[in-house]
Amino acid sequence: MSRFAEIVRRDLRLALRQGSDSVMVVTFFVLTVVLFPFGIGPEANILARVAPGVLWVTALLASMLSLDRLFQADYEDGSLELLVLTPTPLELVVVAKVAAHWLTTGLPLLAAAPLLAVLLNLDGQGFAALLVTMLIGTPILSLVGAIGAALVLGARRGGVLVSLLILPLYVPVLIFGVGAIDAAIQGLAMRAHLLILAGILVAALPLAPWATSAALRQALE
């Protein structure tokens, strides 16, 4: 666990030192959401109706912006090979890097979402559902995105390839995330949607690091 914490701290220091990825993700999220009222009009009812989908789709796309750099820097400077050779299981290294990625991308998105929900006139009953679904869903985005980032490691135009690989896998998170918010707004039970989201997270926690580790080993051979 000390090794896990060291990797998380290392990636957080690198992310804070560079700062570009986190700023880019949040800026894209904010600017894209702000553009929607200009595109579909200022009518409050229309904005409130599309708010859950707009927020989730934009957050999903924003989280993808930094995925191609998740392992790329370590791959280019040789740090990834050293991490593979250490006694620490590669799966644990992957979980640590995914945790750092979520802290620098998913957490800022989670913090910005309520403010943008106010801009889109989201119904008050949907705020709690928005926060809960993003708290469960954004780690899934990082875990699944890590698989795509590892598969395209060293490839040209890796960012485009990552998008093509993982966008279909993001669809269930989008469906049940938006469904839970819509159910809360309409006064219906959102428990089923949240349980499915939680089930996806529970499945992704062991499977995504395993698949990512296999892809990393393949890339280093």
Q: Are 119 and 37 a contacting pair, CB within 8 Å?
A: yes
| pTM assigned to the model | 0.90
Residue 1: predicted pLDDT: 64
- What parts of the chain have a pLDDT lower than 70? 1, 18-20, 154-159
Residue 154: predicted pLDDT: 66
- Look at residues 90, 87, 70, 95 and name the one whose alpha carbon lies nearest to residue 5: 95
Q: Are 141 and 173 a contacting pair, CB within 8 Å?
A: yes
Give the domain ranges of the chain: 2-220
Residue 208: predicted pLDDT: 92
- Look at residues 98, 103, 134 and name the one whose alpha carbon lies nearest to residue 116: 134
In the chain, what is the greatest distance between 2 CA atoms, to the nearest angstrom?
58
Which whole-number Å values give the CA distances from 171 to 24, 211, 217, in the listed order?
A: 23, 19, 27
Q: What is the pLDDT of residues 38-80, one digit of tens each?
A: 888 878 888 889 999 999 999 999 988 888 778 877 777 777 7
Give start and end residues of each alpha helix (H) in the chain. 2-18, 20-40, 44-64, 72-77, 79-85, 90-101, 107-119, 127-151, 158-185, 191-220
Residue 3: predicted pLDDT: 78
Residue 54: predicted pLDDT: 93
